[in-house]
Structure 1
Amino acid sequence: MKQAPPASTTDTPHSAAVGTGTMGNKLLVILALLSAVAPLSIDLYLPAFPAMSEDLSTSTSAVQLTLTAFLVGITIGQLIFGPLSDRFGRLRPLLIGAVLCVVASIAAVIAPNVAILVAARLVQGIGGAAGMVIGRAIISDVAHGKAAARAFSLMMIVGGIAPVIAPMVGGFLVDPIGWRGILTVVLGLAVIMLACVVAGIRETFPALRRAELKVLREQSGSPNAALRSREFLSYTLTFGFSFAVMMAYISASPFVYQDMMGLSSMAYGIAFGCNAFALMIVSGIAARLTATHSVRGMLATGVGLMTAGVAAVGILVATGVDPIWLSVPLFVTVASLGLILGNATALALGAVPAAAGSASAVLGALQFGLAAVVSPLVGLGGEDTAAPMAVVMAASALIAVTAFALSRAEGDERATTRMGSGNLVDR
């Protein structure tokens, strides 16, 4: 597929030198914050599920539906806002999504019953998705090569840790402020998201650039031909099913840590904090190693560690050992994602620079679509077994490993020859 030339520096006001694949730290921080709003909104209120069920006089499964609705909303929202950002630029769709997220967050705080809360969470997810999907596209606009991989890894320190650390924060907040107070915190995050968009984001995909890439896509024979490439699909599946491993762990964690291991809400939060810290450290290491190591090689290491951790979880569950021992392989599994999420994102989006918004939408829709499926599956066996979690994690890890292995069939030769364009990270 023909590659578009890097945008000029005048097209991207936040990048000092787009052609060299750099981007400003201020923009990176803002994009990281935008990417964290939706993940924090997913899990911040997990420890409040019992209180919500009692206060709203509804079942546990109905409360769980508020989480599923949010995940479905994120999936739909990314499929909407990603292509829109390719057609109309990044800024306008991002503003619309941020406003929608704020309005829906207000509705969630004041929801009188679980039905309205589910509807509000659905819309909240749709709006919040804009920050995630367009944020990734903006990075593809202004950073290339190893700089893009490093930026995605740094973003994952925030975006990747958010769904892990959120239950810990929620565990500390649920008693003093209640579940509506936690949803008010989510509202505050949505307001911050809107303020960051208004004050700190400028258009990085102007009309002239959109017209140039539209011509290239038309010359390829199909506007979305690149999205069907084996390279893009392989890295996208690696990313999506690796994230599914983490979501299986997160969704089952309240029952595994509190009901099976016997931890208190506070101890549960601390356990989550340890895993979050490990993910943060590994993500930071990955960002630093990008300058001297192969991005693909780091991804391979991460996938291998994740597979080993998931296999250990399955063995421990099958042999019926004390559940407390599950904390060790779960720690390894979560930490390994620091080598996977950012690098897989950079490799996937780097494969389709002419359709970054749509590619980001596919990546994110798969990510949270799988999360929506995984979330209820891990609870099928009840509260006294971790077997469903282990099975879902194992199936997801197997698909991720297979997808990564298939990407090798494309070979590194083509990636090397395309590096000259500056649009792909080094493998």
Structure 2
Amino acid sequence: MNSEHTSDKHTFLILLIALGTLAGMGATDLILPAIPSLPDVLDGTPSQAQGVLATYVLGAGIGLIIFGELGARFKIIHLLILALVFFSILSLAATFVTSLTQLSAIRFLQGIFASAAAVYAPVMIKSVFANERAVIVIGRISSLEAMAPAIAPIFGAILLNSFGWRSSFYVIAVIGLLLSVTWMLQGALKEKFGIIKPAQEGYASLIKKPDFMRYLLSHAFTLGALLTVVLSAPKIITGSLNGELYDFIVMQILGISLFVIAANMTPVFNRWWGDENSIVIGSVLTAVGCLALLFVAYLQLRSIVLLWLCFMIINLGVGIRGPVGFYKTLVAAGENDSRGSALLILFIMLFTAIGTATVAPFINAGLMPLSVVVVSSSILSVFILLFPVSRPVKENLD
């Protein structure tokens, strides 16, 4: 009975953590369908409408650093609850704006507070679940996060067509408030995450840690390659490949499916190969998918099916290395895990932005520019892993 009760509590905790990170993602994915129509209902231009997305991402990037630092100084449960409350208030405030400039300003602030859940989710998982179990939980939450960008815009479109552009913001506000109230009512969890673990080291000390930077950079380069493909593919498919957005949706479904399967098989892979080898194998597999994409581009094979196949290989590799790679990065950060989590997510965003921005001027040239960028990123990920860690890391999962 006690075992079942503990299992139920853990399941509930996983759900709370997952909903927190998904709420932050939903603040972008749910409103995505409304972006093209915003200049028709609010004062502004189409470029300013795109700025609604950009300012949120900018705010989230700044928020990662802020909440990573605060997490080493204050109780993360209090910070998370406050962040969710302000996140919800700002979502509600967004429904009262009259211009896109006002909306972008609110979205910037909202992005800052949305980042708290992203920073503290892996820290909470690491503090509650031991070793292999933590990797399993990270895999499950990563699976939900992977599906969100494909599912949330569908619901966003339904809300837009049925109730107007403000409805998505109402939904986000309600979800954030419900989550904050739920966290407030969880006495045991508040006690668990109400402990301050001051870390004397700052961000600079983390960057000087070879083990931490090895895992961080490798993880960020691999994820950056994957996300650069995702962000560049719609234009390439509808442009040089003469496809339709439907083809991009199929690509996403195929890739996400393999990612989810692989991410949830992480314990099996770790038992087969060991955690360190799983990271290497996953990184190499992603690089193979990127090299295959380069080969397709070199042969000028304008095949959407081949793009799908390459994307599936890339996702399979990310799924194999993703959960264990994230966990090992946090372990390498030691007690400084809130800053470590923030830096890891920030670097993933940074490498994705650099990759996407590098491809953007050449997007009409087809697959070649994209493939060169992602091959470079994925090979750098593998190259970094060639440098050995300073201690046997397998002990952290045993």
For the superposition of Structure 1 and Structure 2, which TM-score range results when normalised by the shorter chain? 0.7 to 0.9
Structure 1 44/206 Cα, relative in aligned 2: closer, same or farther at 3 Å?
closer
Query: Measured at CA, do residues 308 and 289 of structure 1 come closer, stay the same or move farther in structure 2, by a change above 3 Å?
Result: closer
After superposition, where does 1:16-415 map in structure 2 within 5 Å?
A: 24-52=10-38, 61-163=47-149, 165-167=151-153, 179-200=165-186, 201-207=189-195, 210=197, 214=199, 217=200, 225-265=205-245, 268-290=248-270, 293-324=273-304, 325-382=306-363, 385-406=366-387, 409-410=388-389, 413-415=391-393
Contact between 1:240 and 1:367, CA under 8 Å: does it hold in 2? Answer: yes
Distance 1:167 1:317 in 2: 30
Contact 1:150 1:290 in 2 (8 A): no
Q: Sort the Cα spacing of 1:242 and 1:275 in 2 relative to 1 into closer, same or farther, 3 A.
A: same
Q: Deviations over 1:138-165 (max 9, x none)?
A: 1222223222222222221123443455
1:73, distance to aligned residue in structure 2 (A): 1.6
Which letter does structure 1 place at the counterpart of 2:343? V
Q: Distance in 1 between matches of 2:142 and 2:264?
A: 9
Is this contact kept in 2: 1:167–1:272, CA < 8 A?
Answer: no
**TM-score after normalising by structure 1:** 0.79
- Contact 1:155–1:342 at 8 Å: present in 2 too? no
Aligned residues: 390
* SS at structure 2 position matched to 1:202: helix
Q: Which residue of 2 aligns with 1:5?
A: none
Paired letter, 1:385: G
RMSD: 3.2
Corresponding letter in the other structure for 1:298: S
Q: Which amino acid counterpart does residue 414 of structure 1 have in structure 2?
A: P
1:394–1:330 CA distance, 2 compared to 1 (3 A): same
Question: 2:155, 2:283 → 1: CA distance?
Answer: 28
Is the partner of 2:192 in helix, strand or coil? coil
Mapped to 1, the partners of 2:22 and 2:319 lie a distance apart of 15
Distance 1:100 1:387 in 2: 44
User: Which residue number in structure 2 is paired with residue 6 of structure 1?
Assistant: none
Letter in 2 for 1:340: R
The question of whether the paired residues in 1 share the 8 Å contact of 2:43 and 2:98 is answered with: no
- Report matched runs for 1:410-425 at 5 Å: 410=389, 413-415=391-393, 419=395, 424-425=396-397
Provide the C-alpha distance between the structure 2 equivalents of 1:266 and 1:179, rounded to a whole number of angstroms: 24
Q: Which has the higher mean CA deviation after the structures are superposed, 86-95 or 314-323?
A: 314-323
Offset, 1:252: 1.8
Alpha carbons of 1:300 and 1:286: their partners in 2 closer, same or farther (altered >3 Å)? same
Indicate conservation of the 8 Å contact 1:90/1:203, yes or no: no
* Superposed CA offset, 1:388-427 (max 9, x none): 4333322322332222223xx225x5335xx3xxxx335x
Structure 1 stretch 46-55 or stretch 71-80: which is displaced more?
46-55
For structure 1, the 5+ residue unaligned runs are 1-14, 18-22
Deviations 1:244-278 (A, max 9, x none): 12321222233234445555555643442332222
1:140–1:353 CA contact under 8 A, matched in 2: no
User: Following the alignment from structure 2 to structure 1, what is the Cα–Cα distance between the partners of residues 38 and 240?
Assistant: 22
Of the structure 1 ranges 396-405 and 198-207, higher mean CA displacement relative to structure 2 is found in 198-207
Conserved? CA contact 2:237–2:245, under 8 Å: no
Amino acid at match of 1:359: G
Identity %: 20
1:24 alignment partner AA: H
Identify if the C-alpha distance between structure 1 residues 157 and 390 changes in structure 2 by more than 3 Å, giving closer, same or farther: same
Q: What amino acid sits opposite 2:300 in the alignment?
A: G
Whole-Å separation in 1 of the counterparts to 2:284 and 2:292:
12
Evaluate the alpha carbon distance shift between residue 371 and residue 99 of structure 1 in structure 2; reply closer, same or farther with a 3 A threshold: farther
CA distance in 1, matches of 2:268, 2:26: 25
Rounded to whole Å, the distance in 2 between the matches of 1:175 and 1:260 is 31
Q: Would the alpha carbon gap of residues 108 and 314 (structure 1) be closer, same or farther in structure 2, given more than 3 Å must change?
A: farther
Question: How far is the alpha carbon of 1:96 from its aligned partner?
Answer: 1.7
**1:30 partner letter:** L
Query: What is the CA-CA distance between 1:337 and the residue it aligns to?
Result: 1.7
**Pairwise CA distance, 1:322:** 1.7
TM-score of the aligned structures, taking structure 2 as reference length: 0.84
Residues 85-94 or 315-324, more deviating:
315-324
